[in-house]
Amino acid sequence: MKHQRARLNGVIPTAAGIAIAALAGCSSGSVTGASSAASLRSTSTSGSAVGATGTTVSAPVATESNPPGDIPDNTAFVPYTDPAGFVVKVPEGWARSLTGSNVTFTDKLNSVMIEPGKSVTAPTAATATSTQVQTLKSSVPKFQLVQITSVARAAGNGILVKYLADSAPNPVTNKVVRNAVELYLFWHNGTLVSLSLTGPLGADNVDPWRKVTESLSWTR
């Protein structure tokens, strides 16, 4: 009998053992469930989640909470001379790219795009609304008009169109940034210059953008 009891004790768990195992299983299950839920929430916020079949379900790319995009106070500005007949200062060291007659200077999340063109008359708030704004509505992701006003600079009177827009997705991270854009329109002797100054919404670039627009001068 002693030998049989010892054998049975070796293979049959006691009631206390069952209770302890059950309690441990419940505790482990709840921790695992919480961990899985947290993992899913974390995954969902990054733009994808794992479906019931184990496949990844992609979500639409969302606009990011904007990172800081302030241009440093010690940034130097250098003149850029355009063949269309004007000079404008841009931040030194920014990457330069050309698309036809348009030139863009870019650094991180900020950019200055210069577009020369022709116009018989000077721009007004009405012509900006009927021309530039309509073009932006059809070409800019999530375009949102903020304001159209008249401005005065060294180059003369101009029109300022302020608007918000989403950036193109970053080719590496696929992140999209909400941008604040200031589009300035200046005219002189049939030449229309469009200056698009772009930076993340909330960035404090008032002074750098003022330096750019105040620097515009005509060479003919």
Percent of the chain with pLDDT over 90: 67
Over residues 21-49, the mean pLDDT reads: 39
Residue 195 has pLDDT above 50, yes or no: yes
Q: Which amino acid is at 84?
A: A
Beta-bridged to residue 96, according to DSSP, are 105
| Residues with Cβ within 8 Å of residue 90, at least 6 apart in sequence | 77, 78, 80, 105, 112, 212
Q: Could you tell me the fold of the domain covering 77-218? A: Protein Transport Mog1p; Chain A (3.40.1000)
Which residues of 67-171 form beta strands (DSSP E)? 77-82, 86-91, 95-99, 102-107, 110-118, 144-153, 156-166
pLDDT band at 1 (very low <50, low <70, confident <90, very high): very low
Residue 15 has pLDDT above 50, yes or no: no
Q: What is the pLDDT of residues 158-167, one digit of tens each?
A: 999 999 999 9
Provide the 10 A C-beta neighbour count for residue 179.
24
Contact indicator for 78, 92 with CB cutoff of 8 Å: yes
> Domain ranges in the chain?
2-58, 77-218
Provide the 10 A C-beta neighbour count for residue 195.
21
* pLDDT given at position 119: 97
Contact indicator for 48, 58 with CB cutoff of 8 Å: yes
Over residues 93-114, the mean pLDDT reads: 97
* pLDDT given at position 68: 75
Burial readout 11-22 (b: 16 or more C-beta within 10 A, e: otherwise): eeeeeeeeeeee
Percent of the chain with pLDDT over 70: 70
